[in-house]
Amino acid sequence: MLIIDDRKFVLTKFDNEDELERVVIANAEYIFGPSSIYFPKSLIKTADGAGTIPDGYVIDLDGRRWYIVEAEVSQHSVWNHIAPQVAKQIIAANNPVTKQQLIEIAIDRVRDDEAVQDKFAEQSIDPIDYRRVLAEIVSTAPIIGMPIDDVKNDLREWAATLKVDVRLWIVRKYIEFNNPRNVAYEIPEEFRPVLETGTDESTAQQIARYDVSITDLIDADLLAPGQRLVMPYKPRNGEQRTYKATVLSDGTLEVLGRSFSSPSYAAVFGIQDAGSSRSTVNGWTAWRLENGATLAEIRDRFLSDGNGEPQPIGQITNR
């Protein structure tokens, strides 16, 4: 239950899969990350010519990975509905024709969308390299990205059988108790999946990163209460600004008089103050110590020092 003043919002089911899909499209950056580009469903073909329609594709410029997106409601049968559908989509996604189509769609998107251009620029990708970088990303194995309203045991068991990586995010719907027309949706915090499979070291390292907090870095003497962080930011057609955050003893960051438990929300608060319309940003890479080191680099040092042990290779995280 969510309580806002005297209003109570209770957990409920999505009306249908289309409703969940609309929520995912509208909030894709909160699920797949601020450097992600979401491409809604379009007809693709498997090698044998059969049609299959995933709910979308995502290209993550920061992680240099891409996703086949399948939004699902948990009442669907895993073995009779989800598994055969995803299997067909994996075959289609690995078709070279499909990959080339995705590259061309992405090129058209970045040409017409300034917000997407900004994402490439933030990753220091020059326009002349757009096509090369996209080709490198889609040459890798796709990840199955599945936003879903609940994760049951049979879904976990199925995900563990796949040879490709699977990431599941829980998206929940709430309605006001006495006014069901008022709806609220719960989106994962800090782009964090509830389940992630993988068999390589980078996957294990990424899993470990989700669990690191500013408090952990303070306890490890890698950050100190009162320490200043900086975030240079220049909005399109605006002036360069540098925002400052103060590390507080409770692990929050104070920016412009407000404190945030998430570095990403602290960063968004700053860039919106500068006039940006961006609603997501990776605060771990945006905030820097005064010596230039990013919070992400401090976090990796924390992990490499053995303070936060990555999980064994191939382990599935259940959160």
How far apart CA 247 and CA 228 sit, in angstroms, is: 6
Query: Do 59 and 36 meet the contact criterion of CB atoms below 8 Å apart?
Result: yes
Contacts of 94 (CB under 8 A, 6+ apart): 141, 142
Counting as low any pLDDT under 70, the low residues of the chain are 42-51, 199-208, 237, 306-319
Question: Can you give the pLDDT at residue 315?
Answer: 33
Question: Can you give the pLDDT at residue 310?
Answer: 39
Task: Specify the DSSP element, H or E, that contains 185.
Answer: strand 179-186
CA atoms in the 13 A half-sphere facing the CB of 84: 5
Residue 288, Ramachandran bin (φ over 0: left; ψ between -120 and 50: alpha; else beta) = beta
Question: Can you give the pLDDT at residue 122?
Answer: 84
Question: Can you give the pLDDT at residue 312?
Answer: 34
* Full strand arrangement of the beta sheet holding 36-40: 36-40, 56-60, 65-69, 143-148, 166-170, 195-196, 317-318
Alpha-helix runs per DSSP H in the chain: 17-26, 28-32, 83-93, 96-112, 114-122, 130-138, 153-161, 201-210, 214-219, 263-273, 283-286, 295-304
Phi/psi at 101 (5° precision): -60, -40
Query: Do 34 and 19 meet the contact criterion of CB atoms below 8 Å apart?
Result: no
